Amino acid sequence: MADGMPGVFSPGNPAAFQANYTAGQDLLAQLEALAASRAAVERLRSSAAAAGWAKRWNLPVYFSLVFQDIAGTFDAAAKASQLQQASPSQHQQQPQLRLAVSAALWAALQRCIAADVFLQALADRFAKLAFQLLVRYDSWLQDVASTRQAALAAPTAAPGTAAGPAAAGAAAPGSPAAGAGAAGGTAAAAGPAGWAGSMGAEECAAICADANALQRLVVGSFSSHLAGLLAGLPGDVVAQLTETLTQLAGNIAQHGQQVLLLIGGDVLERCMAMVRQLKGITATYRMTAKGPPVRHSHYVAGVLQPLRQLLETGGPVQQLPDALKLLLARDVINNVNDRCNALSEELLTTVKKTESSLKRLKKSRPGEDAAAAGAAAAMSMASHGRQIARFGLAAEQLNSFKQLLATVTPPEQQQQQQQELQQQQEQQRGSIAEQP
């Protein structure tokens, strides 16, 4: 074969080389099957002819070429100058993924284990390549988040610019980008640094949805397929590789959620536009002779309306799994509660100081305005808690809401509530003790 078909052993055409190597291994297996005994098989494997045969297959060069092709193709998608939707052909291959970069990652992972690419002799290298691809995608997600966060922190910065590592676009050491022979500094500045600073809610939701889908795909079908290809390795090695895959997929899902929560900043500000009407409560009782409150303020029903509109309006956000929508709602609501708490504390303190000044001037009865304003704020926040429940969250289980209630609830009412709670607990303990 070496004399008559020398091109068979050339790795210059990776596809042909892989097919030839596979056929050659099948031929060797057929020869071994003709052996009359195990000893004959061992003699064949240790023969000079078998050693010479093995040396003719330049596996390192084959893997290097395949590595550059697979990693380079994915890295080009990760460095695209804009966030692109998956093409019809990509969507057909994997309908769960919406974005071109995510579809490119999945295609790269599939090539690592494809029958016309994978070689058992290079199993460890293909597994490592799969890990590197996942790390590169995870790094891309972190670049997206950091670029967007930098833009939110510096809204006056020029569109499309960002500082720090994300803007540099440098590939992590040992990543496929570094080994794929990608272009240098100028080209590497593309990717998230060029578009993530100005992305909106739909883009954030699409990225998170893809990260969530990739976690399921990697932990599911990909992990099972790879484990089957690695069956020849020791069981503990396969288990460790599977665990690594699970961890990398979990990192991707986690950083995808961080991108999703970037939506919360804009929604929070729109919610706070209604919360700031809380100032009207103090003005009402400081500047008028209005009696004690009998109901919550009218603005409360609209505080979380921007969040509800975001979650219920058709589009990528509305199409998110319920668990991710709940995650986003919890994050926004906690931030709203924290802002409400700070504002309530400030306003009630101001009322008390103003009342104290008026008391010295004998223009107000002690505790009159502060008690009324506090009662009004407490009623409003209780109503706010009922609004929170509409998002599938128990307000009383949120620490941010507990702190908010503690701020706006008058001390005597807090004491009364504590006594009632203690009585309920004592009654429950008594009921348990009476049971046979």
Give the domain ranges of the chain: 6-55, 59-262, 265-434
Total Cβ atoms within 10 A of residue 416:
12
Looking at residue 98, its pLDDT comes to 94
Strands (E), 139-267: none
pTM: 0.77
Residue with tokens 């599938």: 392
DSSP assignment of 259-317: HHHTTHHHHHHHHHHHHGGGHHHHHHHHHS------S--GGGGGTTHHHHHHHHSTTTT
Q: What is the pLDDT of residue 168?
A: 40
CB 152 within 8 A of CB 146: no
- Tokens at 394, concatenated: 């128990």
**What is the rounded CA–CA span in Å between residue 50 and residue 52?**
5
pLDDT number for residue 29: 83
Distance CA 225, CA 222 (A): 5
**Angstrom distance (rounded) from CA 9 to CA 432:** 81
Inter-residue contact 151 to 202 (CB < 8 Å):
no
- Which helix (H) or strand (E) is 45 found in, with range? helix 38-45
Query: Rounded distance, CA 283 to CA 291, Å?
Result: 13
**Which distant-in-sequence residues (6+ apart) come within 8 Å of 264 by Cβ?**
328, 331, 332, 335
* Residue of 258, 230, 411 whose CA lies nearest to 328: 258
The one-character DSSP state at 158 is P
- For the chain, 436 residues long, give each residue's pLDDT as a single digit of tens: 666 676 788 888 899 989 988 888 888 888 878 887 888 888 887 888 877 777 888 899 999 999 999 999 999 999 999 999 999 999 889 999 999 999 999 999 999 999 999 999 999 999 999 999 999 999 999 999 999 999 988 755 444 444 444 344 444 434 454 444 444 444 445 789 999 999 989 999 999 999 999 999 999 999 999 999 998 888 899 999 999 999 999 999 999 999 999 998 889 988 988 877 766 555 554 545 555 554 556 678 889 999 999 998 878 888 899 999 999 999 999 999 999 898 888 877 776 676 666 555 555 544 455 566 666 777 778 888 889 999 999 998 999 999 998 888 766 665 665 565 566 656 666 665 565 5
CA-CA distance, 213 to 274, in Å (whole number)?
A: 36
229 contacts 242 by C-beta, under 8 angstroms = no
DSSP lists the bridge partners of residue 85 as 99
